[in-house]
Amino acid sequence: MTEPSGADAYRSVDVIKVVVKQLKSFEDFTGKQAGALTQSAMQAMRSICDEAAGPNSTLCQRNDKVLGSVYIRTQPATGQKFQVMRSSGKQTNAMLSCMNWMHENAPDFVQQRAAFMDENTKLRFFERLQFMAESPENRLEHLILSERAREQLAGVAMHFADRSMKCMLGYLILIAINKNEQRVKAVAANYRKAVTRKSKPKVPTTSRADTEAAESMDVETEPTPSTSAGNENS
């Protein structure tokens, strides 16, 4: 986790991201207990990154619209970064990486734009990755399994893992993919460039009776999909 070179197991990287996800339902924790555990985990991960980056590293803490609160340690000599961030549990970017599969296997999640994925979909996703690891196939649309991932997924331990463990692993893999992808951010940036500004239409005046009638109506607006990270529980 703290070796950018990857040693013999992983490929070399310049940025190591540590993602912390709060799990309220895990071990029947209350919201307060889950929050305390998450805060402790965040602090522990930051301490590990501080040590890995060394005493001469620089610290940057910022709030990002997409990533949320981010803690970054940078080694000036190498430019390597160690990041600690929290996850809201959303999988929009991950979903776009294998959109056709999601349409076929999680139509409700795609069409209804639910905030969280159900356990059956997490399990199907993990089992799909397991199937890929045990076959010559190593690609699911934009997702490609590395040799290390194939070894882990096809290992004996994964065969004997129970349903809840597979669901949890599938969920964590989706969260990791979501944090490493920037598809939604890229689409939003290009959309803003393409859209031309239009002059504001004039607001028509209304009588007092019309205003009162409009205020008495209970109108439910459709939620807008968001990729901003927040403090949500699952």
**Stretches in the chain below the pLDDT threshold 50:** 186-192, 195-196, 206-234
Q: Which amino acid is at 173?
A: I
Domain co-membership, 96 together with 1: no
Q: How far apart are CA 139 and CA 123, in angstroms?
A: 18
CA quadruple 53, 57, 59, 65: dihedral sign: negative
Predicted pLDDT of residue 219:
31
Domain co-membership, 51 together with 104: no
Per-residue model confidence as pLDDT tens digits over 111-136 = 876 667 888 989 999 999 999 998 88
**Distance set, CA 72 to CA 61, 63, 65, 138, 141 (Å):** 6, 11, 16, 33, 31
Domain co-membership, 112 together with 169: yes
What number of H helices and E strands is found in the chain? Answer: 10, 6
Predicted pLDDT of residue 214:
34
Provide the residue range defining the domain that includes 84.
1-88
Domain membership flag for residue 214: no
DSSP type of residue 134: T
Predicted pLDDT of residue 216:
33
Last residue of one domain, picked from the residues 69, 88, 107 = 88
The residues, ordered by sequence, that sit 6+ positions from 217 with a Cβ below 8 Å of its Cβ are none
Predicted pLDDT of residue 172:
85
Domain co-membership, 40 together with 127: no
Domain membership flag for residue 217: no
Domain co-membership, 161 together with 116: yes
Q: What is the pTM of this model?
A: 0.63
DSSP type of residue 183: H
Cβ–Cβ under 8 Å, residues 179 and 158: no
Predicted pLDDT of residue 25:
60
Tell me the CB-side half-sphere exposure of residue 95, using CA atoms within 13 A: 24
Domain count, the chain: 2
Give CA angle at 186 (172, 192), nearest 5°: 140
Domain membership flag for residue 121: yes
Domain membership flag for residue 227: no
Q: How far apart are CA 202 and CA 211, in angstroms?
A: 17
Domain membership flag for residue 125: yes
Q: How far apart are CA 35 and CA 231, in angstroms?
A: 9
Domain co-membership, 77 together with 165: no
